[in-house]
Amino acid sequence: MDYWLVSKNKEKLGRSMLRKFIAFILFLVILVVFFLNAPRIVNSADLKILAQIENEKLNLFDKKFQLNSIIYWNRINKVTKVSSNYNFYDIFAENSIFYNGKDFLLSKEQNQFFVIDKKTEGKKYLADAEIALTSKDSNLFALVKKNGLEISFFQFVPLENRAIEIKKEVFSCFWTDYKITKNSFYFSLMNGNCYIFNPFELISSESVIKDSPFIYSISANSSSNNFIIISGFEPQKIYLLNKDGNILYQSQLNENYTSVFSYLLDNQMLIIKNPSSLLLYKIYWNKEKKLELLNNINIKGEILDLVEFYSYFVFICSDTKDFQLAVYDYESKRFYKKNLREPIYQIEMIDSNGVFAVYNQDKLWILSLNQEL
């Protein structure tokens, strides 16, 4: 009888031990799965460097790779044209600063701005101004006078090899951020207003966002007429707005930052970058307008440049000390990064299949995303 009781107790003990063991294993599995899926940035060692150019010296790491397009390497005081046969040609002017547009370059010589057609390399005087606002995806650009308030809007006409002034505007305040898309100009002003100008519809408007005395960032894309701002301090909010400046949706950010920027991608993804982290959202513009947080990673610094591919977006992030090249893969829904030994500032798409160039004033690297990440 006793033996039977003891053996039954042992059996019970064994079962409970087994249960505990299974629970522990399950816990470990859950832990591993959690860690694997946790939103974090993973080192990407497989981002392949195809070529490196230092001044005019070429180092071809992948001999199979052929450059089939022209790279306009903006080196600030000159632009080096790298052609498909790796021939180098400098577009240069003394005491000049260059700005890169879609089909054109702008050179600032003293206070005079010249427009240069990328195809014909024809150069024409445009206007006197202090700074230029360009976008490498657009033929729209703006020139700003020294006072920072008087802005002239231009459109580059590639076939006619000239830029036409579309409009002049005097802003009531300085701007904190701007975005030039293929069809519109967007400015966030320090007094809480947004200025939007679409030269193709000849529509311009200055919208006042209620209860938002200060706007940090404005973002828009070429595939939508809506735009996004980050506004206010304590609380800081994201606003989704239509082209008339009407608020479609608003959401409060968990923390307030003195420096925060937003980027609206063409596939309706929204990046919010504060000094310590990056938040990636999916935007739903349809009936139920909302923001869905997809990822939140710790990456220091500011986004210096960004380029979009079909399956990825790639960006350079820096806090002045460290420079990182980061990739977000839409399929795996993961971020990958590569720490860089040297500073890089700009990205240029070479091939829509995932080949791109990154550069500073002295060096240019050609990289490929077609590798297993």
Partner 1 sequence: MDSFTESGALIMNKSKLILICLFFLLLIMILPFSNKAAQNIFLVKDFCNWSNSFLPAVQFYTSDYKLNSNFSAELIYNKNTISPYQQDSIFKDLAIYKSGNKFIGLTDLSYPPLKIGPKDEIEFTKNTIYCFLIENGIFINPIEFLKPVISTSVSIVNVYYLNEEDVAVAFRANYKNNIIPILIYAYSTYLSGRFAFTSNVYKIEIFLDDEIIYERKLDIVSKKKIVELLLTSSRPQFIKYIISNVADGEHILRVRVYDFNNNFKEIQKKFTVKSY
Select 254 or 258, whichever has its Cβ closest to partner 1: 258
Closest Cα to residue 330, out of 282, 262, 261? 282
Strand 346-351 with 363-368, pairing: unpaired
**Given 93, 157, 166, 173, the residue binding partner 1 (CB under 8 A):** 173
Interface with partner 1, residue 144, by CB under 8 A:
yes
| Helix spans in the chain (H) | 2-37
Q: Which two tokens stand for residue 32?
A: 């591993």
Least Å distance between CB 104 and partner 1? Answer: 16
DSSP 68-121: -S-EEEE-SSEEEEE-TT--EEEEE-TTEEEEE-SSEEEEEETTEEEEEETTT-
Least Å distance between CB 137 and partner 1? Answer: 15
DSSP 266-316: TTSEEEEE-SSEEEEEEEE-SSS-EEEEEEEEE--SEEEEEEE-SSEEEEE
**Given 183, 191, 242, 277, the residue binding partner 1 (CB under 8 A):** 191
Strand partners, 177: 188
Interface with partner 1, residue 319, by CB under 8 A:
yes
Interface with partner 1, residue 345, by CB under 8 A:
yes
Interface with partner 1, residue 362, by CB under 8 A:
no
Which one-letter DSSP state was computed for residue 53?
Answer: E
At position 63, the amino acid (one-letter code) is K
From the list 12-20, 29-37, 39-47, 210-218, the region that binds partner 1 by CB under 8 A is 210-218
From the list 87-95, 126-134, 160-168, 281-289, the region that binds partner 1 by CB under 8 A is 126-134
How far is it, in rounded angstroms, from Cα 270 to Cα 238?
Answer: 11
How far is it, in rounded angstroms, from Cα 165 to Cα 159?
Answer: 16
Strand partners, 322: none
Of 213-242, which residues contact partner 1 (CB under 8 A)? 213-214, 216, 233
Place of tokens 């596939």: 267
Closest Cα to residue 362, out of 348, 339, 346? 346
Least Å distance between CB 95 and partner 1? Answer: 14
**Given 41, 44, 53, 74, the residue binding partner 1 (CB under 8 A):** 74
Per-residue exposure over 332-360, b if at least 16 CB sit within 10 Å of its own CB, e if not: eebbbbbebeebbebbbbbbeebbbbbbb
Interface with partner 1, residue 204, by CB under 8 A:
no
**Given 258, 286, 287, 372, the residue binding partner 1 (CB under 8 A):** 258
Select 292 or 319, whichever has its Cβ closest to partner 1: 319
Neighbours of 126 (CB within 10 A): 23
**Given 51, 91, 133, 314, the residue binding partner 1 (CB under 8 A):** 133
Interface with partner 1, residue 128, by CB under 8 A:
yes
**Given 320, 331, 341, 372, the residue binding partner 1 (CB under 8 A):** 320
Neighbours of 308 (CB within 10 A): 19
From the list 3-11, 18-26, 148-156, 243-251, the region that binds partner 1 by CB under 8 A is 148-156
Please, what is the Cα angle at 144 between 141 and 149, to 5 degrees?
125
From the list 32-40, 61-69, 132-140, 222-230, the region that binds partner 1 by CB under 8 A is 132-140
Interface with partner 1, residue 24, by CB under 8 A:
no
| Phi, psi at 179, each rounded to 5° | -145, 130
Interface with partner 1, residue 354, by CB under 8 A:
no
Select 242 or 318, whichever has its Cβ closest to partner 1: 318
From the list 5-13, 21-29, 167-175, 292-300, the region that binds partner 1 by CB under 8 A is 167-175
Point out which residues bind partner 1 (CB under 8 A).
74, 76, 97, 99, 111, 128-134, 144-150, 170, 172-174, 176, 178, 190-193, 213-214, 216, 233, 258-259, 301-302, 304-305, 318-320, 345-346, 361
